[in-house]
Amino acid sequence: MDSVQTQTPALETTAPSRARLAFLGVCLVLIGLNLRTVFSSFAAVLVEIRAAGAIPEWAVTALTTVPATLLGVFAPLAPVLARRFGAERVLLGAMLVLTGGLAIRPTELGTLGHLPFLLLGTALCGAAIALCNVILPTVVKRDFQHRLGLMGGLYTTAICASAALGAGFTYPLFELSGQWTTALFAWTVPAAVVALLFAPLAVHAPHRAAVADHEGADVWRSPVAWQVTLFMVLQAMSSFSVFAWLAPVLRDRGIDGGTAGVMVSVSILLQMLGSLFAPALAAKLWDQRIINATLALMTGAGFALSILGPLEGIWVWISLLGLGQGALTAVALTMIMLRTRDQHTAARLSGMMQGVGYGVGSAGTFLVAQIHQNTGHFTVAGWMFLGISLAGAVFGWMAGRRRYVE
């Protein structure tokens, strides 16, 4: 792609072989397949967890908000750890932490019940996912410079697929086992398998020269970086609210748990379709103003209509939401690669964009929780997301201009 310069060759002492590069690409996609199950699986059985009296009402807000907030808290730490230990090793460590968090999440702690480990496990998952979120695009920028659109589409599609898997299979697992704890624990298995598969590559990753802290642009003083970051904030508000609340919204509208799970899965499968093609399309365009603004409006309309629109058109609304959300998330992440000229600046922008983006963007899930608790319905949230989509379109237009973080 002619709009992005190749990173500094001195960063690596050895060039990766084609076989190793292919295996790394597969591993990155498989890691992406585990980065959203913690959100969508909890939402899929939230009604059953409430019915069992396993958690108080305040904990619902915490468990739907804390993971996304931690994505912002831990995101700035990722570039620091990657410089110290290497990107592959940090990814491996994060996958091990994610596996542990998923494993302990449904554990009962004596008379204290499930709440302590639900909170701890969810927090561990949020921290681990934050590291993966930041490092994945920087590794793609580093090793797949010649295939940015393809690899960007593949790993963002995998992330969307992760949410679809959690939404679609958790409730059937609950019906099969009769236990919501078993349904949640099941997601430990794929995370553990990917960690084991990735371990040999991460442990034997070639030594990479240390990167000085001053290398790369000062993203915090760059108007372009702030425009991309604010675009990410508004995208994240919608994205994590969809993961956390779309299933409860559908259940609130009278749709049964199994059907709601299928609907969420269909919507997220359409996210996969959107995320697969959007990065390559964005990379080929002269700039990304129109695609950014269009996808922001499309996503907001889909979510708002899922809450406010006629129930007869619900499949249309969730399909609109799915296509828009998947493509919007993918394009927002692709901005990291398209608005930077080198790996170091990409890493800095990724940390800033996802730190601020997810940290502030988590307010979306919190606001939806508060709206529902105070009003007993989601109507106000529907109007709120229309406003968020309009703001997202404005900053998406600004972030899409053909400029670079300098």
Q: How confident is the model at residue 4 (pLDDT cuts 50, 70, 90)?
A: very low
pLDDT at 65: 78
The residue among 70, 95, 261, 254 whose CA lies nearest residue 166 is 261
CA gyration radius for the chain? 20
CA angle, corner 283, sides to 34 and 320, nearest 5? 60
CB atoms within 10 A of CB 268: 29
Between 197 and 282, the more confident residue is: 197
First-last CA distance in the chain: 19
User: Is the predicted pLDDT of residue 7 greater than 50, yes or no?
Assistant: no
**Least confident interval from 15-24, 99-108, 132-141:** 15-24
pLDDT at 216: 63
Q: How confident is the model at residue 208 (pLDDT cuts 50, 70, 90)?
A: low
Q: Which of 242-246, 313-317, 351-355 has the highest mean pLDDT?
A: 313-317
CB 6 within 8 A of CB 129: no
pLDDT at 9: 37
Q: b or e along 191-214 (b: 16 or more beta carbons within 10 Å of the residue's beta carbon)?
A: bbebbeebbebbeebeebeebeee
Q: What is the mean pLDDT of residues 62-75?
A: 82
The residue among 67, 70, 64 whose CA lies nearest residue 46 is 64
Q: How confident is the model at residue 223 (pLDDT cuts 50, 70, 90)?
A: very high
Tokens of 74: 């831990």
The domain made up of 16-399 is a member of CATH 1.20.1250.20? yes
pLDDT, mean over the chain: 85
pLDDT at 27: 95
pLDDT at 329: 86
Between 399 and 344, the more confident residue is: 399
Q: What is the mean pLDDT of residues 200-207?
A: 84
User: Is the predicted pLDDT of residue 209 greater than 70, yes or no?
Assistant: no
Q: Which of 63-67, 127-131, 251-255 has the highest mean pLDDT?
A: 127-131
User: Is the predicted pLDDT of residue 143 greater than 90, yes or no?
Assistant: no
pLDDT at 97: 97
Q: How confident is the model at residue 12 (pLDDT cuts 50, 70, 90)?
A: very low
The residue among 165, 119, 400 whose CA lies nearest residue 282 is 400
Q: Which of 26-30, 167-171, 278-282 has the highest mean pLDDT?
A: 26-30
